[in-house]
Structure 1
């Protein structure tokens, strides 16, 4: 996956520094195996990269809530509105309906949730390790 391919798929990251995007694309190459994902390997790499970039909010984080000061990458809650208040504006989301119980950090962005779903679908279990281990 190249920088240009990634930006065509996820144009919302076009204002992020190219070097940062290329760094996470390189990490995706190191961590995402075609043996595991098959034809969805490039999709997995794109979601992996998008998740980490969205988590960083382009380095524009401001205090409480972690909202970005500019840009449109949302790192906040997603899901059905569970409650709301009009005076002094308040809202809460039912994140349980859009989160995976065991996904942890991957639940923090929509890209991470999609990546985690992809991981679950392409789970190749059980793994068998053959050979002999040697200790130094």
Structure 2
């Protein structure tokens, strides 16, 4: 079962702008999520997992579109901002405080971080200690 785009937009209203997040892109990433995340493993969190997976990819796609609008190369990989200066004003961020260890690609958006947190929980499966 693929989550409908309308469900993602209802659960995450920040993706309601169809000019920035067209149905075709939302449906693409929800479809990829549906075949990538086993429902048997995700259980009650399956829909949420699909939505977070799609949201992460939609954010990255929107960033690529912003790059194009600014004349930059789309898809160029950069890490989180950890300092920025404009004239006499500067700001820095402790990106390590909000990223997950070994999160890599998923640390590139808050949705990816949330997705990875859930993926790690559902991926751990049952544990058995001791005897036969």
Tell me the equivalent position of 1:134: none
CA RMSD of aligned residues (A): 2.7
The runs of 5 or more residues in structure 2 that have no matched partner are: 127-132
Matches within 5 A, 1:1-136: 1-15=3-17, 16-57=21-62, 59-61=65-67, 62=70, 77=80, 88-125=88-125
In 2, distance between residues paired with 1:38 and 1:6? 18
Pair 1:19–1:101, CA change in 2 (3 A): same
| Higher mean displacement: 89-98 or 117-126 | 117-126
Tell me the equivalent position of 2:130: none
The runs of 5 or more residues in structure 1 that have no matched partner are: 67-74, 127-136
Number of residues of Structure 1 aligned to a counterpart in Structure 2: 114
CA contact (8 A) 1:54 1:109 kept: yes
3-state SS of 1:60 partner: helix
Measured against aligned partners, the alpha-carbon deviations of 1:76-129 in whole angstroms (never above 9, x if no partner) come to 848xxx888785221111111111120100000000000000011112458xxx
Question: Alpha-carbon deviation of 1:48?
Answer: 0.2
Question: Alpha-carbon deviation of 1:14?
Answer: 1.9
